[in-house]
A and B are shown apart, each in its own frame.
Chain A
């Protein structure tokens, strides 16, 4: 009995240690969000940089003298270095995007994630780097009859200490009071003579410092690796969302909850701890849509809603363009080589996926950060049916939109209850659940390696025949969705996007409309995923990953989410560019990230927007 108790105690303690680490990181994220209203994807990159800087300078310091003091001096220096990088990011990027829609902000900070990933690989190389243990804290402490690492005990204390220091900073210093004021009403703070730019720069220093501190403190426990950014950012997102975005106390509470859930969940459901965490988040958000200690966001006020304003029919010239594009797609196999046909097939598939995403984002105002989940689930449905059950291609392909639609309906039931950034975070969370299941359920999904041998039926076995199948299905899919945008249902979705309250007032059941819209978009993405599985001949978890979701968003951003057909153009441009450039450089992530940022900064209305303003100029009207 006592063995069991001491085991549970140690388990609880290690839960507390991870809660502490998680809180230190998440507190920075929630702080930055509270003041700047930007959800900073690059926060995970700051964490990673903190670890890399620490594994570089701490061993160097310890060579001078193996003292605990120098270890912690090194950790603090690392955190400061990362804080300065945060300042750079604020001055160079964030300052320019405070006023743009949140989707663009998320994408721009994701661009930074990509750039930092490549920079880290370039500087530190692809091999994980193990850090030194902390002098004086290397031993184990006997707790009842169990050994528990002293460093973990130290971490358990570090979280509350950081919480206390943050409380003092926020309540006892002028800077903190100004920060708290800006969290509620930053324009008013400006009208009282406070230079917001400096305040925001200071906030980013503090936020990045905390992320860097979190990373640097991890080096005795985990090696620095180039994958640690995305794994921690999802956890930090979950903590801040459960706690209530902008609430430091909430983040502490949520970190404690998640730490214990992970520590004990691993005993009961060892394979699905990640799923447990996201389920907790979904549950909290259904009961408390603004998180445990969060407060309702004021509804965003914008005179000009982002997205499709009023869909219009094709003009003669555009009809001609369309026929030309279809002709090119149809004739391509006659003059292009096998590689060109492959790229064209993929462009068509991505066009359908991007179109379905813009159906949500541009037409419905539902910013999904996990659209790849439905794409990937469609691909897995087709792939598993063909390889595991020996089903022919045709019914397996029909199962793809059914699977995408089913899961979109299931997840969407929770998602459409939320708004704005909480909604985006929940789409991300559900996508990560789906990703985790495909990744961890090795017996069925093949885990990381995925499944090969997903081949199409004999009558479309050749690349060219399959290209024509995709052409027909994708074009039909896009036109069906386009029809829905023009139908009263599409108009109702736009009404709900522009003002949910007014739409309710004229009798539109906003939630039901958005739920159906989400399901339709999921089904279309699933169909695209099914087509993709057969074109590749394999499936793997990257088909559900955040990077692919971001690719889809970049496509609609590039094409212009204000236009109905823009996403098709964006998918073609994005995929072709990526295909041309990726083989040319080892640093394609860096360039992709930089391009996304450039797109947000200089070209926020995309190619479609550029076309519209060009047309307006030639027509003599105002753009």
Chain B
């Protein structure tokens, strides 16, 4: 597939003596949104961390934009254009909104660069609180800031770890809009998700992970349309 931006093959990773991932393989096409679904402890976050280089992969290949990135430090991977939004947001609580965005800023590759102003169009809530410290923001606002901060790096693809976690339904809609807006901007998104409805609303492709292995690999539409298939893999 010529337009594959991220390709993972046989990825293994774990913490200390604990093996978590037993050979994950997945692909993300340019401008595509893929959802990585599974229960707690299935290995969703670990997969994203291992791709990002935050957890050193023990085996397997990770290719991003045609380059082998497995084993590179996280900052090199980020500089190649892979963005990462962590599960627990990890905004810099001592810093203001504007300063958080500044930390994420990196030069654009070819296309028009993201600026705070453009991001405030997508996340209007943030515009009003540029000077506010992130510690004084709600969970939903922090989640938006975390995504905006990553976009400031002008990524070609973004790993989005559990974007819906702990968010109120109203905010959830905003978050879904944000993911679709990223897709319209040509950014590929790989998100890990437990909320099926959220994933079904934004994703083109679905992966189901269970005990560190991919169990389903196919279109989101097919999974959404087939309750039996869903029950088999997600036990919903």
CB distance A191 to B16 under 8 Å? no
Tell me which of B78, B94, B95, B99 contacts A191 (CB under 8 A): B78
- Asked, given contacts A183-B94, A185-B92, A188-B90, whether A193 binds B75 with beta carbons under 8 Å apart, the answer is yes
Q: Does B181 make an interface contact (CB < 8 A)?
A: no
Closest to B73 in A: A190
* A195 contact set on B, CB distance < 8 A: 75
Alpha-carbon separation in the docked complex, A195 to B18 (Å): 29
Among A174-182, A320-328, A448-456, the stretch in contact with B: A174-182
Distance in Å: Cβ of B198 to nearest Cβ of chain A: 23
Tell me which of B16, B54, B106 contacts A303 (CB under 8 A): B16
CB distance A184 to B74 under 8 Å? no
CB distance A193 to B79 under 8 Å? yes
Q: Mark A177-208, 1 if CB is under 8 A from B, else 0.
A: 11011011101111111111000000000000
Tell me which of A174, A184, A193, A196 contacts B94 (CB under 8 A): A184
Distance in Å: Cβ of B109 to nearest Cβ of chain A: 12
Q: Does B149 make an interface contact (CB < 8 A)?
A: yes
- Asked, given contacts A191-B74, A191-B75, A192-B78, whether A184 binds B103 with beta carbons under 8 Å apart, the answer is no
CB distance B94 to A177 under 8 Å? no
Q: Does A304 make an interface contact (CB < 8 A)?
A: yes
Tell me which of A174, A188, A191, A193 contacts B92 (CB under 8 A): A188
Distance in Å: Cβ of B180 to nearest Cβ of chain A: 23
Alpha-carbon separation in the docked complex, A184 to B103 (Å): 12
* A181 contact set on B, CB distance < 8 A: 92, 95, 99-100, 103
* A183 contact set on B, CB distance < 8 A: 94
Alpha-carbon separation in the docked complex, A606 to B27 (Å): 45
Q: Does B165 make an interface contact (CB < 8 A)?
A: no
Distance in Å: Cβ of B6 to nearest Cβ of chain A: 16
Q: Mark B67-89, 1 if CB is under 8 A from A, else 0.
A: 00000011100110000101000
Distance in Å: Cβ of B7 to nearest Cβ of chain A: 20
* B50 contact set on A, CB distance < 8 A: none
Closest to B90 in A: A188
Q: Does B40 make an interface contact (CB < 8 A)?
A: no
- Asked, given contacts A180-B95, A184-B92, whether A192 binds B103 with beta carbons under 8 Å apart, the answer is yes
Q: Mark B182-204, 1 if CB is under 8 A from A, else 0.
A: 00000000000000000000000
CB distance B86 to A191 under 8 Å? yes
Name B20-76 residues within 8 Å CB distance of A.
Answer: 52, 54, 73-75
Closest to B80 in A: A193
Tell me which of B18, B74, B100 contacts A190 (CB under 8 A): B74
Question: How many residue pairs at the A-B interface have CB separations less than 8 Å?
Answer: 63
Q: Does B104 make an interface contact (CB < 8 A)?
A: yes
Place the interface of chain B in its size category: 20 to 34
CB distance A177 to B95 under 8 Å? yes
Alpha-carbon separation in the docked complex, A190 to B100 (Å): 13
CB distance B78 to A187 under 8 Å? no
Distance in Å: Cβ of B170 to nearest Cβ of chain A: 27
CB distance B16 to A177 under 8 Å? no
Distance in Å: Cβ of B88 to nearest Cβ of chain A: 10
Tell me which of B16, B18, B103, B106 contacts A178 (CB under 8 A): B103
CB distance A194 to B75 under 8 Å? yes
CB distance B99 to A193 under 8 Å? no
Closest to A195 in B: B75
Tell me which of A180, A190, A303, A304 contacts B75 (CB under 8 A): A190
Name B123-177 residues within 8 Å CB distance of A.
Answer: 149-150, 153
Alpha-carbon separation in the docked complex, A174 to B99 (Å): 9
Q: Does B102 make an interface contact (CB < 8 A)?
A: yes
Distance in Å: Cβ of A485 to nearest Cβ of chain B: 24
Alpha-carbon separation in the docked complex, A580 to B12 (Å): 50
CB distance B102 to A177 under 8 Å? yes
CB distance A184 to B73 under 8 Å? no
* B18 contact set on A, CB distance < 8 A: 303
Distance in Å: Cβ of A334 to nearest Cβ of chain B: 49
Alpha-carbon separation in the docked complex, A178 to B16 (Å): 30
* A184 contact set on B, CB distance < 8 A: 92-95
Closest to B154 in A: A193
* B149 contact set on A, CB distance < 8 A: 192
Closest to A185 in B: B90
Closest to A302 in B: B16
Distance in Å: Cβ of A468 to nearest Cβ of chain B: 47
Alpha-carbon separation in the docked complex, A191 to B78 (Å): 6
Alpha-carbon separation in the docked complex, A196 to B73 (Å): 10
* A189 contact set on B, CB distance < 8 A: 103
Closest to B92 in A: A181
Distance in Å: Cβ of A497 to nearest Cβ of chain B: 17
Alpha-carbon separation in the docked complex, A183 to B92 (Å): 9
Please give the residue numbers on chain B whose beta carbons come within 8 Å of chain A beta carbons, in ascending order: 15-16, 18, 52, 54, 73-75, 78-79, 84, 86, 90, 92-95, 99-100, 102-104, 106, 149-150, 153
Q: A180-B99, A192-B149 are in contact. List 11 more A-B contacts (CB 8 A).
A: A183-B94, A184-B94, A185-B90, A185-B92, A188-B90, A188-B92, A189-B103, A190-B75, A191-B52, A191-B75, A191-B86
Q: Which 4 A-B pairs have the closest CB atoms?
A: A193-B78, A303-B16, A181-B92, A190-B74
21 residue pairs of the A-B complex, CB under 8 angstroms, read A177-B99, A180-B95, A180-B99, A181-B99, A184-B95, A185-B90, A187-B54, A188-B86, A189-B103, A190-B74, A191-B52, A191-B74, A191-B86, A192-B75, A192-B103, A193-B78, A193-B104, A194-B75, A195-B75, A196-B75, A304-B16
